[in-house]
């Protein structure tokens, strides 16, 4: 199984690295970071850089695409090299997926029309502009398109894919190996449970 994760300036690191860590543990799995040209791509904090080891042209037919989100998504919506690669590679994938605002890039590539999809809570309604039906869930599957909500949900999505690609025992073993046992200290990981006024402060952190 060949997984391709496209990188673009100001992506959110965990959107890419979370699914990478899960899927890279899968037996007979290869994960490649791709970009318009091979080389370093810096995240939304400006302090972490990942290396794209291949160009889009080098990986035309991956089995799985995982499109990360981040503040750079809005600029990337006009990146035709990226959108064109998503569009063309999607024709050959087993799964085409996104994390957080990466779903907007799937929409801009024309892949979400008439489908249910999710994204980060702050931009969930933006999916409507691409003809999608926004759904406030951690992971949403619509055929071979799978979208995950904000950032940490990418790990949930990757484990879900791994269970389907291999089997549940393999996915469970990977979950245990990375000790993914969420027990957050605060019950505020969703706008539904966050204290009043916290959403505005959260938005100021990520914008």
Containing 173, the helix (H) or strand (E) segment is: helix 168-177
Q: Is 100 a known active-site residue?
A: yes
**189-205 per-residue burial string, b: 16 or more CB within 10 A, e: under 16:** eeeeebeeeeeeeeeee
Annotated catalytic residue within 100, 108, 112, 157? 100
Non-local CB neighbours of 32 within 8 Å, separated by 6+ positions: 2, 3, 4, 5, 53, 54, 59, 62
Active-site residue list: 100
């Amino acid at each position: 199984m060949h997984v391709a994760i496209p990188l673009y300036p100001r992506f959110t690191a965990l959107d890419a690295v979370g699914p990478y860590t899960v899927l890279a543990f899968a037996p007979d799995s290869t994960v490649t970071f791709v970009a318009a040209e091979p080389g370093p791509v810096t995240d939304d904090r400006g302090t972490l850089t990942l290396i794209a080891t291949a160009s889009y042209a080098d990986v035309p037919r991956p089995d799985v695409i995982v499109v990360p989100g981040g503040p750079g998504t809005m600029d990337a919506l006009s990146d035709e090299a990226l959108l064109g690669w998503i569009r063309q590679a999607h024709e050959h994938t087993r799964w085409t997926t996104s994390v957080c605002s990466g779903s907007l890039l799937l929409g801009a590539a024309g892949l979400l029309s008439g489908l249910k999809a999710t994204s980060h809570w702050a931009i969930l309604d933006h999916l409507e502009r691409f003809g999608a039906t926004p759904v406030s869930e951690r992971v949403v599957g619509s055929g071979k398109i799978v979208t995950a909500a904000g950032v940490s949900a990418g790990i949930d999505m990757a484990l879900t894919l791994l269970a389907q690609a291999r089997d549940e025992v393999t996915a469970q073993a990977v979950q245990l190996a990375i000790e993914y046992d969420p027990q957050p200290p605060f019950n505020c990981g969703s706008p539904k449970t966050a204290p009043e006024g916290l959403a505005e402060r959260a938005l100021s952190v990520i914008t």
